[in-house]
C-alpha cells in the first residue's frame, strides 16, 4: 500500500471526527483545503486542511498535547495528533464540559488519536493493529520515536486553532 493511501485514510478520519463534532453541536459541515481557503477567505470555515509535507530527520514536532498511536501487523509506524491547549479547551466546551483541567485535555487528545486510528483500522482491515493511545505533554523530536520511515505532517485548523496530524506508517 502506498504512503499516500495511509495519509488519505487518516485525513478522512480527521474530517469525519470534526464533521461529527460539528453535527453534534449544530454547525454545518465546512471543510476546505488551504488552496480553497485563499479563494474563500471571507467565509466561515470550521476545518481547514493544510498541505501535508515530509518532515526532515530529527524534526521537533507537536504542540501542548499529543496523542500517539503505534501501528503494527500488516503496517508499522506511528500516528500522532497534536493540538494546543486552546483547541482542546474549545472542543471540551463544545461538549458542554465546564472543567478544563489538563487531565481532561490529555484524555481528549488521546481519544481523538484513538478515534482516528480506529477509523483507519476499519478501513484498512483487521491486520492493521493499533495500540492504546499514549499522551505526551510536550513537543517531540522525531528521533526519540524511531520514525525510521517517511514522516508526513498535515497542519490543520479547527475554528481558527492550529493543530497537526503526523503520519509515519508503512507496510510491514
Contact 79/166 with Cβ under 8 angstroms? yes
Domains annotated for the chain, with CATH where assigned, are 3-53+63-167 (3.40.1550.10)
Opening angle at CA 27, ends 40 and 112, nearest 5:
95
CB distance 61 to 75 below 8 Å: no
Please count the CA atoms within 13 angstroms of the CA of 171 that sit on its side-chain side. 5
Phi/psi of residue 42, nearest 5 degrees: -90, -10
Strand partners, 68: 80, 134
Return the pLDDT at 38: 40
Average pLDDT over residues 56-64: 81
Tens of pLDDT, residue by residue over 79-138, are: 999 999 999 999 999 888 989 999 999 999 999 999 999 999 999 999 999 999 999 998
Sign of the Cα torsion 55, 155, 32, 68 reads: positive
pLDDT tier, 143 (very low <50, low <70, confident <90, very high otherwise): confident
7-12 long-range Cβ contacts below 8 angstroms, 24+ apart: 7/52, 7/152, 7/154, 7/167, 9/119, 9/120, 9/123, 9/124, 10/79, 10/116, 10/120, 10/154, 10/165, 10/167, 11/49, 11/154, 11/165, 12/119, 12/123
- Whole-number pLDDT of residue 34: 44
Q: How confident is the model at residue 139, as a pLDDT?
A: 81
pLDDT at 149 over 70: yes
pLDDT tens digit sequence for 11-55: 999 988 888 887 766 554 444 444 444 443 333 358 899 999 988
Q: Report how far residue 82's alpha carbon sits from residue 64's, in angstroms, rounded to the nearest whole number.
A: 7
Q: What is the pLDDT of residue 23?
A: 75
Amino acid at each position: 500500500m502506498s504512503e499516500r493511501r495511509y495519509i488519505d485514510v487518516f485525513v478522512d478520519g480527521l474530517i469525519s471526527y470534526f464533521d461529527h463534532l460539528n453535527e453534534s453541536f449544530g454547525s454545518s459541515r465546512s471543510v476546505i483545503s488551504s488552496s480553497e481557503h485563499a479563494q474563500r477567505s471571507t467565509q466561515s470555515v470550521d476545518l481547514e486542511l493544510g498541505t501535508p509535507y515530509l518532515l526532515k530527520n530529527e524534526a521537533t514536532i507537536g504542540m501542548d498535547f499529543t496523542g500517539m498511536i503505534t501501528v503494527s501487523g500488516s503496517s508499522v509506524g506511528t500516528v500522532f495528533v497534536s493540538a494546543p491547549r486552546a483547541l482542546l479547551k474549545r472542543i471540551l466546551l463544545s461538549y458542554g464540559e465546564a472543567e478544563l483541567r489538563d487531565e481532561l485535555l490529555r484524555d481528549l487528545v488521546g481519544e481523538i488519536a484513538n478515534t482516528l486510528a480506529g477509523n483507519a483500522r476499519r478501513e484498512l482491515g483487521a491486520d492493521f493493529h493499533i495500540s492504546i493511545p499514549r499522551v505526551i505533554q510536550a513537543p517531540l523530536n522525531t528521533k526519540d520515536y524511531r520514525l525510521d520511515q517517511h514522516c508526513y505532517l498535515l497542519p490543520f485548523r479547527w475554528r481558527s486553532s492550529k493543530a497537526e496530524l503526523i503520519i509515519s506508517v508503512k507496510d510491514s
